[in-house]
Structure 1
Amino acid sequence: MTAVRTAAIRGARRTEVAAVAELLAAAMAEDPLSRWLHPVPEWRLAELRGSFEVEIERVCRPALGAHVLVDPDGALLAAALWTPLPYRLSWLQQARLRTALRGLHGERDPYLQHVSAATFTAAPQRPHWHLLAIGTDPAARGHGHGRALLDFGIARADAEGLPTHLETTEPARIGFYARAGYRIAAEVDLPYGGPRSTILCREAS
């Protein structure tokens, strides 16, 4: 009998940083927050890729908070970025991160800072994991890859006894997270015509 080959979840490798960033950029290109922060369609994918590369390299760090789901041949199907909060970065590392992101976001950087401030005000005020991004290759949607990655991250947080939080500007995603045990903690209307951001939290179980 031939063994059934299935998809697997593992930590992202450092050689995969660019590929993971590209996958997430494609997955989130039409997200309301992405369209608001990156309003020029022709530039959006490149700007998102650059932002995700910075986040993976300096905050999530592969094998710590960057998870990927791959098919039996190793092709990336989905990815999730989890950030441990409070940041496990030195003051200098955080300053360098802010400088890099400011360079990528340009005049939209103050908008992003507003998003961050609103989000972290509603987030658990104790050590926890923040789901920064999760996405599936558009060509591989509809097979439960996103839920598998979400459950994987939740299981780790539960094992550590830590809560998790995330935010979404896509109303259709709220039910997806609710089914995984998340509850709405706050809703924030972003400035300058931005979308509504819903912050969701989940206690460890």
Structure 2
Amino acid sequence: MLDERGPRVDQALEARHPAEPHWYLGLLTVAPDAQVGGVGSALVRAGLARADADGLPAYLECERHREAYYARFGVARTPTVEIDDGAPAHLGMWRPAGG
């Protein structure tokens, strides 16, 4: 099922990407045993630092329950990306250049 749903999820997400130049912070996962040590936060900060160095905004998608996590980094919600076939909806998240 995931093999069939994956391309549709990708298409739905891609259709919502902003048109202006930006850094896209793709899928971020951290092994469960490393999730308490700040590894994920360090990765997000590194991605945002690269965007800032290039003078570009940053965009990512996340599931609804991750919105507050990314908001800590100055990333704000954009429209929800609804995905068919029971896949969880994703939020578009945007941070202007320079944060």
Q: TM-score range by the shorter chain?
A: 0.7 to 0.9
The CA RMSD measured in Å over matched residues stands at 1.7
Query: Which residue type is aligned with residue 113 of structure 1?
Result: P
- Partners of 1:123 and 1:201 within 8 A in 2: no
For 1:192 and 1:156, the matched residues in 2 are separated by 35
Partner of 1:46: none
Partner of 2:50: 156
Query: Which residue type is aligned with residue 202 of structure 1?
Result: R
- Partners of 2:58 and 2:95 within 8 A in 1: yes
For 1:199 and 1:163, the matched residues in 2 are separated by 13
1:140 aligns with 2:34: yes
More helix by share: 1
Query: Which residue type is aligned with residue 147 of structure 1?
Result: S
TM-score w.r.t. the length of structure 1 is 0.44
Partner of 1:179: 72
For 2:45 and 2:13, the matched residues in 1 are separated by 22
1:30-86: CA deviations, max 9, x gaps? xxxxxxx63xxxxxxxxxxxxxxxxxxxxxxxxxxxxxxxxxxxxxxxxxxxxxxxx
Partner of 1:198: 91
Give the superposition deviation at 1:146.
Answer: 0.5
Q: Which runs of 5+ in 1 are unaligned?
A: 1-36, 39-104
TM-score w.r.t. the length of structure 2 is 0.84
- Partners of 1:132 and 1:166 within 8 A in 2: yes
Aligned residue pairs total 98
1:7-36: CA deviations, max 9, x gaps? xxxxxxxxxxxxxxxxxxxxxxxxxxxxxx
Q: Highest Rg: 1 or 2?
A: 1
- Partners of 2:61 and 2:91 within 8 A in 1: yes
Identity %: 35
Q: Which has the higher contact order (CA 8 A, sep 6+)?
A: 2
- Partners of 1:128 and 1:164 within 8 A in 2: yes
SS in 1 for 2:61: strand
Query: Which residue type is aligned with residue 190 of structure 1?
Result: I
Query: Which residue type is aligned with residue 13 of structure 2?
Result: T
For 1:113 and 1:137, the matched residues in 2 are separated by 24
